[in-house]
Amino acid sequence: MTLRMPDEFTHHTDVLSNVTLHYLREGSGPPLLLVHGWPGFCWEWRKNIGPLAEHFDVIAPDMRGFGDSTKPPLDRIDLYSTEHVIDDFVELLDRLGLEKIFLCGHDFGSEVVHKFIRRHRDRVSAAAILNPAVPGWGERYMQRFEEAWYFMFHQLDLAVELVGSSREACRAYFKHWLSHWSADGDLFTDVEIEVYTDTFMKPGNLHGGFNFYRVKDFWKEIDWTISDCPMVFLQGMADPIAPAAWTDLVGRWYTDFTIEYVEGAGHFLMCEKPETLNNRLMEGFLGGGKKTT
């Protein structure tokens, strides 16, 4: 697959009430909102936007604090709540005249998807989550997961200072994420790592991203009711966050879902197995599916 560089996509910005959102938008058909995770921004969907745009109106935003979207005051950690992200997206959809969408999220984006569904169920036709977490997962994660160090590290002002101290330090940090959390540690090319480094060296991007860890609103501020929203869950089997940490909890929160465990994929399934993801979204959103556990 030929690598599409950031400037080869169709870029848009929209000035909202509290932030300016930058997003990629391509294609036509039913709208599909792709929500990035950490460490990410809109370009993490680079292998998906083109193929999906043949079937959907694909919109891939940078969340507030990331990429080329606004960074609210960095000392106002409360402004980095995923609740604000959802408000941003709803306002964006209203501006674009989109009443109902398909929704797909990764990592942080999984929390956004869970909460979006519960706040705006009437606006979501169906949703998908990659390498997800669900309520009840957090306690297991912090108690059993050896990679949880970064949750604590990101709380420190020192984290921004160290990672942003030089381009070399920033590159080493994101190379670790992209290689260590992938099934193939050499999947991400030097060119791709440079793009991530360039993006997070932009003013405010490191601090804005770390603020999503500092706000500590995971699974809070929402009425966690059982949802009937049709869901597609995809889990990379080589993800350091093992499937056993969360998949048994899904049935507590959703009544209509499929779960697929993908071999040869780690945490960045959209980049590691793009054809699998693209096909599952088309099947799950446009062609229906069978519930599995």
Question: How many Cβ atoms are within 10 Å of 41's Cβ, its own excluded?
Answer: 28
81, 217 Cβ separation under 8 angstroms: yes
Report the CATH fold assignment for 6-287. Answer: Rossmann fold (3.40.50)
C-beta separation of 204 from 123 below 8 A: no
How much is the pLDDT for 241?
A: 72
Neighbouring residues of 135: CB distance < 8 A, sequence distance ≥ 6 = 114, 219, 224, 249, 252, 253
pLDDT tens per residue across all 293 residues of the chain: 789 999 999 999 999 999 999 999 999 999 999 999 999 999 999 999 999 999 999 999 999 999 999 999 999 999 999 999 999 999 999 999 999 999 999 998 998 999 999 999 999 999 999 976 777 766 666 665 667 788 889 989 899 999 999 999 999 999 999 999 999 999 999 999 999 999 999 999 999 999 998 986 655 655 678 999 999 999 999 988 766 667 788 888 999 999 999 999 999 999 999 999 999 999 999 984 333 33
Task: Note the pLDDT of residue 23.
Answer: 98
d(CA 88, CA 115): 13
Strand partners, 106: 130
Residue 213 appears among annotated catalytic residues: yes
Of 68, 88, 107, 239, catalytic? 107
Measure the CA angle with vertex 272, ends 269 and 278; round to 5°. Answer: 65
Q: What span, in angstroms and rounded, lies between the C-alpha atoms of 223 and 225?
A: 6
- Is-cis flag, bond preceding 39, omega within 30? yes
- What confidence score (pLDDT) does residue 289 get? 39
For 126, 140, 148, the CA distances from 93, given in Å and listed in that order, are: 16, 35, 34
| Residue positions counted in the chain | 293
CA–chain centroid gap for 289, Å, is 23
Q: How far is CA 267 from the centre of its chain?
A: 11
- The span from the CA of 56 to the CA of 248, in Å, is 31
Q: Is 141 in the active site?
A: no
Q: Where are the beta strands (DSSP E) in 161-246?
A: 231-236
Annotation says 228 is catalytic: no
pTM exceeds 0.85: yes
Q: Distance between the two ends of the chain, CA-based, in angstroms? A: 32
pLDDT at 272: 97
